[in-house]
Structure 1
Amino acid sequence: MTLRITTQTMAASATRQLAAAQARLADAQDTATSLRRITRPSDDPAGAAQAMRVRAEVAANAQYGRNIDNGTAWLTGVDAALGDATRFLDSARDAVQQGLNAARTPADRIALADVIDGLRADLLGRANATYLGRSLFAGTSDQPAFVDGNPPTFTGVAGDAVHRRFGENQSVRVDADGAAIFGTGPTSVFATLDAISAELRAGGITASRLDDLDSARATLRTARADAGARLTTLEAAKDANQAAKVALESDRAALEDVDLGTAVLDLQVQQTSYQAALAVTAKTLQPTLMDFLR
């Protein structure tokens, strides 16, 4: 049986081949222009699903990075405030030692009491240290940690904490408990400084005040060491976050992006293929007598 191929059949086949070549050329042009392997989900459904998952991980990792930066700023503020507070108490201890010297005159002790009052005010200021308007020592409260009084009153949320998440199941506390560090009521460090000032103005001071200050200084040093350990945790998390960022970007690029050289080469191949198809079609579909008789 002889199969008869008509001119109309050849024309239809050539048209389909040209359309397919043109579509491949258009895809190659889109890829070379956008440098994206996947420009729509239909390009690669499986790859698009993987790319969406990786993009979600990239977004989560970026948020963790912002949390780490914010937490680092909080803990840096806490560390600075506790360092200042420790120096204030060191100065207060020196003043007490001078006040215990029997050679000091009443005027000298009054001057030392003024120094203690100034250190108390400075200490209260550092106890109310803030970052972006939030108290570093008041827990989740948006109010100052301490309101001045005799002694100052703790107005934060005792035992509450501010945390920052830096991993899927990882978080760290970024504030400090002002009530535990500075004390509350008559046992607070502020009450101790008030008592020292009063005793100096009265003309005498007991050596036990040195022990009170040493205890307060030890509490501050412990709190500062704890803040430093948490800051170290965030520094390590920062390094891990940056490494994850690089790895995730590499995964995303492998799924979505194309190499510029590869895209240009493919475009040239598709252009050559399309031009060749046009030339072959032109030679194959020669004009017939019917074309001239129309």
Structure 2
Amino acid sequence: MRITQRAVAQTSLLGLNQNLARMAKLQEQLTTGRVLNAPSDSPTGTNKAMQVRQSTDAVMQQARNISDGQGWLDAADSALTTMLNQVRRVRDLTVQGLNTGSIQGNSASAIATEVASLRESLLGVANQTINGQPVFGGATDKSQAYDPATGAFIGVGGTVAGVDQTVPLVRRVSDTEVIRVDVTGPEAFGEQSPGRDLFALVGDIADHVLTAGADPTDLSTDLADLDVAISRLLTAAAGIGARSARLDAAQQVNTDLQLTLKGQLSDVEEIDLPKTIMELNMQKTGYEAALGATAKAIQPSLMDYLR
């Protein structure tokens, strides 16, 4: 079989072009810092990168959910702490009202006035909002959990006709875990029917202080109910604290997962700089050697000039 000069030239040029293409690809990778600059670079790698990016998007959304949930729980915890301090003050005043021997002149009226003022303050704290939504209102579209005028609960939650109406607000913090981030007014401050919730109780105490000197029975009952209300507030605060601890743990797991996914994406998409530089130098050396060898193998003849 005869090998023509044209065949030798074409084969040599094909090899040179292939070396040049590999060198150009390595230069592109060095310029961009990425192994994958187009899906055709590695279909398998591109598929894996898409999966990692999808997982990263989910983890970032969960991180935002955790941050939002922490905001809700922090707001509820702060409000409950404030209310506990105020309710303890109401208890002190109630005990003072029961001590009929110490009430002289306008003392009962002063205690009643302070208790009534504390009730208004308690209602104000109970109507605290976060992002325009009441902290203790549940899944409501209203801007307040309690009617400031009547003290009636106007949010979503509590028991109606024996049926629990509570719709908990939850946040997904991982692929497998969902955490509740709210507490409703009836859960923290008591049901309005049957019985009295915290605000009705404090309002009654303000009235009963004025008659405690003649009949302390009502105020004694109020004091016992107030202890139950304080216990309910403490239980709600403990629940908020437990869920907050779960969110903190979920945040740590989420942060670790973000770092893991970032490393996986780097392994798939980003270049190994020393290795790429070495490969580029090797390709460059090989190309220059092939270029020199080709120049010696393909010598132009007189016929080439005559063509």
- Tell me which amino acid in the other structure corresponds to 2:50: M
Alignment equivalent of 2:169, drawn from 148, 156, 162: 162
String of CA shifts for 1:97-151, please: whole Å, max 9, x gaps. Answer: 111222212411111112112211111111112111111111111321101234x
Distance of 2:231 and 2:122 partners within structure 1: 15
- Tell me which amino acid in the other structure corresponds to 1:98: Q
Query: Residues 139-158 of structure 1: matches in 2 within 5 Å?
Result: 139-143=138-142, 144-150=144-150, 152-158=151-157
Secondary structure, aligned partner of 1:147: coil
**Deviation of residue 42 (structure 1)?**
1.5
Contact conserved, 2:171 with 2:180, CA < 8 A, in 1? yes
String of CA shifts for 1:152-206, please: whole Å, max 9, x gaps. Answer: 1111111111100011131011010212222343611111111111122346452
**Deviation of residue 65 (structure 1)?**
1.0
Match of 2:304 in 1: 291
Query: Residues 127-146 of structure 1: matches in 2 within 5 Å?
Result: 127-143=126-142, 144-146=144-146
- Tell me which amino acid in the other structure corresponds to 1:38: L
Match of 1:22 in 2: 20
Percent identity of paired positions between Structure 1 and Structure 2: 36
**Deviation of residue 293 (structure 1)?**
2.4
Greater shift, 272-281 or 162-171, is seen at 272-281
Query: Residues 78-157 of structure 1: matches in 2 within 5 Å?
Result: 78-101=76-99, 102-143=101-142, 144-150=144-150, 152-157=151-156
String of CA shifts for 1:80-106, please: whole Å, max 9, x gaps. Answer: 111111111000001111112222124
Secondary structure, aligned partner of 2:173: strand
Return the TM-score normalized by structure 2. Answer: 0.90
Match of 1:183 in 2: 190
Q: Does 1:174 align with 2:177?
A: no
Contact conserved, 2:70 with 2:244, CA < 8 A, in 1? yes
Q: Does 1:200 align with 2:216?
A: no
Contact conserved, 1:196 with 1:209, CA < 8 A, in 2? yes
Match of 1:67 in 2: 65
Distance of 1:266 and 1:105 partners within structure 2: 97
In structure 2, stretches of 5+ residues that fail to align are: 158-165
Distance of 1:156 and 1:283 partners within structure 2: 90
In structure 1, stretches of 5+ residues that fail to align are: none
Match of 1:272 in 2: 285
Contact conserved, 1:153 with 1:184, CA < 8 A, in 2? no
Q: Does 1:257 align with 2:256?
A: no
Greater shift, 185-194 or 237-246, is seen at 185-194
How many residue pairs were aligned?
A: 291
Match of 1:41 in 2: 39
Distance of 1:131 and 1:276 partners within structure 2: 71
Contact conserved, 2:146 with 2:152, CA < 8 A, in 1? yes
Distance of 1:130 and 1:269 partners within structure 2: 66
Greater shift, 51-60 or 101-110, is seen at 101-110
Contact conserved, 1:96 with 1:210, CA < 8 A, in 2? yes
